[in-house]
Amino acid sequence: MNHDSYHDSYIRGILNTVKTIAMVGISPKDNRPSYFAFKYLLERGYRMIPVNPGQAGKEILGQKVYRRLSEIPEPVDMVDIFRNSADVPPIVEEAITLNPRPQVIWMQLTVRNDDAARLAEEAGMKVVMNRCPKIEYGRLSSEISWMGVNSRTISSRRPQGLGNGVQRMRLGPATDRNGDA
Please check whether residue 1 lies inside any domain of the structure.
no
pLDDT computed for residue 10 by the predictor: 97
What local confidence, expressed as pLDDT, does residue 155 receive? 56
Helix (H, G, I), strand (E, B) or coil at 97: helix
pTM (whole model) above 0.85: no
Helix axes 114-122, 88-97, angle to 10 degrees: 10
Question: Same domain, yes or no, for 153 and 124?
Answer: no
Q: Is residue 115 part of a domain?
A: yes
130 plus 141 within the same structural domain: no
Per-residue DSSP letters for 27-88? -S-TTSHHHHHHHHHHHTT-EEEEE-GGGTTSEETTEE-BSSGGG-SS--SEEEE-S-GGGH
- Please report the pLDDT score of residue 152 as a whole number: 53
Q: Clarify whether residues 101 and 119 are in a common domain.
A: yes
Q: How many domains does the chain have?
A: 2
What pLDDT sits at residue 161?
55
Residues 129 and 150 in one domain: no
Classified as helix, coil or strand, 57 is coil
- In a domain? residue 3: no
Whether residue 53 is found in the same domain as residue 32: yes
What is the CATH number for 105? 3.40.50.720
Give the chain's end-to-end CA distance (angstroms, integer): 20
Same domain, 125 and 141: no
Both 129 and 54 in a single domain?
yes
Q: What pLDDT score was predicted for residue 143? A: 76
66 lies in a domain?
A: yes
What is the predicted pLDDT for the residue at 49?
A: 98
Per-residue pLDDT of the chain (181 residues; tens, 9 = 90+): 999 999 999 999 999 999 999 999 999 999 999 999 999 999 999 999 999 999 999 999 999 999 999 999 999 999 999 999 999 999 999 999 999 999 999 999 999 999 999 999 999 999 999 999 999 998 888 776 555 545 455 555 555 555 444 344 456 654 444 445 4
SS (H, E, C) 85-100: HHHHHHHHHHHHHCCC
Q: Domain range holding 147?
A: 136-176
Q: What angle do CA 57, 137, 48 make, to 5 degrees?
A: 15
Supply the pLDDT for residue 145.
54
